[in-house]
């Protein structure tokens, strides 16, 4: 093969190779976007569903009338009603890693013990049994009925804290929870407890 013939053969091979590459089917894996957690909290701590509610569970219909709880916001607090599993997000004037949420689900939503242990797990604490949960429970009287309130702080140097209330109203279970670093949660705790004490059914407001 002379030089000219060899060059032509090489050029033809390149063209064929390019054409073959254009016909190839290429697959890419695109990582699924994660929901961003507020204020530096982990997504798991913020979005984990109550026991028995994990997975592709459709959001419940928004409660209305006598089935809907309402409350009085402390001075400087704001809220956004978002619907879905997270009914509302509350913002406090306190700085730091802090998230305040209101979640409402139909029925018992897994039960009190399972949800209390889910909150404890989110800050690295071991589960409680029924007797230990009863000792940890504080019952607050509200116009919407009794509210079970729990307050847990994690161990270790970098402490996390969760203060949460659980109430049944209109056939639904309401979870009002404040969680984050121990210091900002402690700073906002008194106002959060006053918000819990102000709970009432919508038709009683």
Q: Is residue 75 part of a domain?
A: yes
Is the model more confident about 8 or about 144? 144
- Give the C-alpha distances (Å, rounded to integers) separating 167 from 66, 140, 170: 14, 10, 10
Q: Is residue 158 part of a domain?
A: yes
- Give the C-alpha distances (Å, rounded to integers) separating 147 from 41, 150, 159, 174, 180: 26, 10, 26, 10, 21
Q: What is the pLDDT of residue 57?
A: 54
Q: Is residue 4 part of a domain?
A: no
Q: What is the pLDDT of residue 150?
A: 98
Is the distance from CB of 79 to CB of 88 less than 8 angstroms?
A: yes
Q: Is residue 175 part of a domain?
A: yes
pLDDT at 17 over 60: no
- What tens digit of pLDDT does each residue of 140-184 get? 999 988 999 999 999 988 999 999 999 988 788 899 999 999 999
Helices (H), the chain: 3-23, 43-47, 112-122, 130-136, 182-197
Q: Is residue 36 part of a domain?
A: no
- 92: domain range? 68-202
Q: Is residue 177 part of a domain?
A: yes
Task: Name the domain count of the chain.
Answer: 1
Q: What is the pLDDT of residue 63?
A: 74
Q: Is residue 57 part of a domain?
A: no
Instruction: Round to whole Å and give the CA distance between 84 and 105.
Output: 9
Q: What is the pLDDT of residue 67?
A: 74
Q: Is residue 41 part of a domain?
A: no
The CATH number linked to 118 is: 3.40.1000.10
Q: What is the pLDDT of residue 61?
A: 67
Nearest to 59 by CA among 194, 142, 170, 172: 172
């Amino acid at each position: 093969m002379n030089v000219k013939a060899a060059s032509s053969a090489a050029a033809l091979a390149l063209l064929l190779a390019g054409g073959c590459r254009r016909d190839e089917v290429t697959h890419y894996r695109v990582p699924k976007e994660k929901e961003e957690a507020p204020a530096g909290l982990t997504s798991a701590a913020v979005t984990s569903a109550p026991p028995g509610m994990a997975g592709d569970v459709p959001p419940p219909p928004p409660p209305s009338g006598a089935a809907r709880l309402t409350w009085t916001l402390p001075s400087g607090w704001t809220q956004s009603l978002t619907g879905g599993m997270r009914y509302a997000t509350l913002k406090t004037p306190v700085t730091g890693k802090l998230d305040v949420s209101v979640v409402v689900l139909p029925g018992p939503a897994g039960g009190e013990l399972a949800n209390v242990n889910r909150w404890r797990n989110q800050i690295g604490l071991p589960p409680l049994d029924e007797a230990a949960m009863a000792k940890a429970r504080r019952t607050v009287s509200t116009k919407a009925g009794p509210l079970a309130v729990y307050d847990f702080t994690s161990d270790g140097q970098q402490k996390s804290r969760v203060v949460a209330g659980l109430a049944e109203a209109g056939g639904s279970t309401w979870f009002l929870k404040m969680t984050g670093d121990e210091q900002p949660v402690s700073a906002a705790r008194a106002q959060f407890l006053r918000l819990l004490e102000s709970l009432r059914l919508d038709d009683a407001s």
